[in-house]
Amino acid sequence: MPKKVRIALDAMGGDIGASVVIPGAAISLTRHPDSEFLLFGDSALIEKELAKHPALKAVSKIIHTDVAVSMEDKPSQALRRGRRVSSMWQAIEAVKKGEADVAVSAGNTGALMAMARFCLRMLDGIDRPALAAIWPTQRGDSVVLDLGATIGGDAHHLKALAVMGSAMASALFDLERPTVGLLNIGVEEIKGGEEIREAAELLRAADLPQLQFIGFVEGDGIGKGAADVIVTEGFSGNIALKAAEGTARQIAEYLRAAMNRTWRSKIGYLFAKNAFKALRDKMDPSKSNGAVFLGLKGIVVKSHGGTNADGFAYAVDVGYDMVRYDLLTKINLMLNRDGTALAATPAQEAVS
Model confidence over 159-192: pLDDT tens digits? 999 999 998 998 888 898 999 999 999 888 888 8
Phi, psi of 69 (to 5 degrees): -80, 130
What's the average model confidence in pLDDT over 136-150? 88
109 sits in which H/E element: helix 109-120
Structure confidence by residue, pLDDT tens digits, 212-258? 999 999 999 998 999 999 999 989 988 988 888 787 778 777 777 77
**pLDDT number for residue 345:** 41
90 contacts 46 by C-beta, under 8 angstroms: no
Of 28-32, 60-64, 141-145, 332-336, the poorest mean pLDDT is in 332-336
**pLDDT number for residue 282:** 60
The whole model's pTM is what? 0.85
Residue 350 above 70 pLDDT?
A: no
Residue 46 above 60 pLDDT?
A: yes
Q: Give the HSE-up count for residue 351: Cα atoms under 13 Å, Cβ half-sphere.
A: 20
What's the average model confidence in pLDDT over 81-99? 91
Q: Which of the four pLDDT bands, split at 50, 70 and 90, describes residue 337?
A: low
Q: What domains appear along the chain, each with residue ranges and CATH number?
A: 1-120 (3.40.718.10), 123-287+326-352 (3.40.718.10)
Q: Do you know the residue count of the chain?
A: 352
Pairing of strands 130-137, 229-231: unpaired
